[in-house]
Amino acid sequence: MSLLNVQDLTLTLYGASILKQLNFTLEPGEILALTGESGSGKSMTALSLLQLLPDAAELSGNITLDGTNLLRLTEPQLCAQRGGIMGMVFQEPMSALNPVQTIGAQVAEALRLDPKTNAAAAQNRAGAILGRVGLAPEHVPPSRYPHELSGGQRQRVVIALAIARQPKLLIADEPTTALDVTTQAQILALLKRLVREDDMGLIMITHDLAVVADMADRIAVMHRGEIVEQAATSKILKASTHPYTQKLLQAASHMARQPGAEHSRKPLLEVANVQRSYPAKRPWPWIKPPRNIAVKNVSFSLQTGDRMGLVGESGCGKSSLTRAILGLDPVEKGTITLNGKPVWGASSTIRRDLQVVFQDPYGSFNPRHKVAKLIQEAFHLYERPPLREDQEQRTCDVMRAVGLNPDDRGRYIHEFSGGQRQRIAIARALITRPKLVIFDEAVSALDVSVRAQILDLIADLAEQYGLSYLFISHDLSVVRSITDTCMVMKEGEIVEQGSTAFILNTPTHPYTQQLLSAAPKLPKISIGA
């Protein structure tokens, strides 16, 4: 008998059909990956298993866990199941822990829910459980509060809470999406180890196909609330049968068609010996606070026609450097010039040549302005802004260039999807025909199939408009696909720079090697007939 048997699971919420007749099983010690794009229903499936849905949810079908039908249980019985037989790990480690309780107390609370454990025993064992997930009491005492821990450490605590009573089933909903590549590797290794040690079944929910390839024994691909294909990992990766799965796999290993690079030797953006630092918090008002150096002596030169990438994990100084390059913040030491003129306090003529596309397709736009007005923001940079008809014409042209319908320019931003919004962001950046565009994690928030389209768009536009760009990303596969040179940044310094192919295939610096080995890889796939 399987550990978990889900039959015809159907979920309706506020009249909308969320999950349609799901069927899957899980054996002890097996890792099943539920994968799909946003909106496919993966997280809802997890919440359905734990029965933590909103009150208005209507669930039907069968969920049999270790012989018990979860849909027939009362709430108190379900509480006993949660934590005891099944545990769950969520996506956002930064907000998943109660900020006013110590981590030891939170683990002990989980243990105390077992009727056979009393308070004293729970207290004692809490430290041991934290040790199991890699938080040894000598280094991270249970008396610590969550705000004193890093993201990776907090996620370990969340895992500790989930496995404290050694449940038979563990569900992990995008557990590493918010973490750095190196931390991600550690957490995934931890999960694999726990599955092995406790003979648990693990349902891993993730949109990242490389992670799936690395971790899962079996894959179930979800699309719009249904499981479109489910089989052993190797089978799906080598010989998938469903067109949607094939589309996903293709998009994940998509390489944007890079046009022939025309490299003039003319320097466009020169960054020389740049340093930026921030004051740390001062404990006593009269003590001068120490400064944290975010960017240390960074120098590089981006020439006309270059497509350069900047790779680094969170906290490496990418954002500080980016803001300085965009002229948003001054630098303490060093210079940043565009075409020989400094970017800090730059005149409008300089600013016209330098534009940016940001990461968040939702936060990048003023919700109260129509799309036309959003795209025309940069017209502010002309001493004599173009005439009304000219403005309209150029707006329509650029919208067509990014693949949007010019008739939509009277709409508001909330009427567009994430991918469309990024197209609008690109249109906004291109309206002044800049020479250099900074893409700041521009595709990181997009689904994998949309991401592939936007990368293609960027490559096409670069050729059409003669753009040079600096593409900043934490995702090595994206950098590989869209840049021909790149730099690797760590703790405020550029540790390696050179041609993308060279660096990502044969890295010389130990940090780059570490990044590459930690990143899960999608094996070469062949599309089934």
Site for another protein, rule CB under 8 A: 50, 52, 75-76, 79-84, 87-88, 90, 92, 95-101, 109-110, 113, 145, 147-148, 158, 161-162, 164, 281, 283-285, 326-328, 346, 348, 351, 354-356, 358-360, 362-368, 374, 377-378, 380-381, 412-414, 428
Nearer to another protein, 265 or 368 (CB): 368
What is the C-alpha separation between 524 and 516, in angstroms, rounded?
A: 16
Nearer to another protein, 60 or 101 (CB): 101
Going by C-beta distance under 8 Å and a sequence separation of 6 or more, which residues neighbour residue 187?
A: 152, 155, 156, 159, 175, 176, 179
Nearer to another protein, 106 or 500 (CB): 106
Nearer to another protein, 358 or 471 (CB): 358
Least distance in Å: CB of 360 to another protein? 5
Nearer to another protein, 36 or 167 (CB): 167
CB 427 within 8 A of CB 402: yes
Nearer to another protein, 93 or 225 (CB): 93
Nearer to another protein, 239 or 328 (CB): 328
Least distance in Å: CB of 137 to another protein? 19
391, 396, 399, 401 alpha-carbon torsion, rounded to 10°: -110
From residue 352, give the alpha-carbon distance in Å to each of 336, 380, 437. 16, 10, 10
List strand residue ranges (DSSP E) for 66-195, in order. Answer: 68-69, 86-89, 169-173
Least distance in Å: CB of 242 to another protein? 31
Nearer to another protein, 288 or 368 (CB): 368
From residue 418, give the alpha-carbon distance in Å to each of 385, 388, 448, 453, 454. 30, 29, 12, 12, 11
Least distance in Å: CB of 7 to another protein? 23
Least distance in Å: CB of 52 to another protein? 6
Nearer to another protein, 221 or 302 (CB): 302
Q: SS in 3 state form for 352-387?
A: HCEEEECCCCCCCCCCCCEHHHHHHHHHHHCCCCCC
Least distance in Å: CB of 205 to another protein? 14
Q: SS in 3 state form for 141-153?
A: CCCCCHHHCCHHH
The runs of H, that is alpha helices, within 438-506 are: 448-465, 476-482, 500-505
Least distance in Å: CB of 187 to another protein? 16
Helix, strand, coil percent content, the chain, rounded in steps of 5: 40, 25, 35
| Closest to 373 measured CA to CA, from 391, 355, 348 | 391
292 burial type by CB count under 10 A (0-12 exposed, 13-18 middle, 19+ buried):
exposed
Nearer to another protein, 360 or 484 (CB): 360
From residue 148, give the alpha-carbon distance in Å to each of 103, 185, 220. 10, 22, 37
Least distance in Å: CB of 79 to another protein? 5
Least distance in Å: CB of 506 to another protein? 36
Nearer to another protein, 20 or 369 (CB): 369
Nearer to another protein, 260 or 345 (CB): 345
DSSP conformation letters of 488-500:
EEETTEEEEEEEH
95, 517, 360, 156 alpha-carbon torsion, rounded to 10°: 0
Least distance in Å: CB of 308 to another protein? 19
- Supply angle C-alpha 170, 176, 177, rounded to 5: 125
Least distance in Å: CB of 477 to another protein? 24
CB 179 within 8 A of CB 191: no
Six-digit token pair at 216? 């899962």
What is the C-alpha separation between 187 and 284, in angstroms, rounded?
A: 38
User: How many C-beta neighbours within 10 Å does residue 362 have?
Assistant: 12
| Closest to 276 measured CA to CA, from 261, 255, 291, 286 | 291
Six-digit token pair at 170? 């563990």
Least distance in Å: CB of 497 to another protein? 25
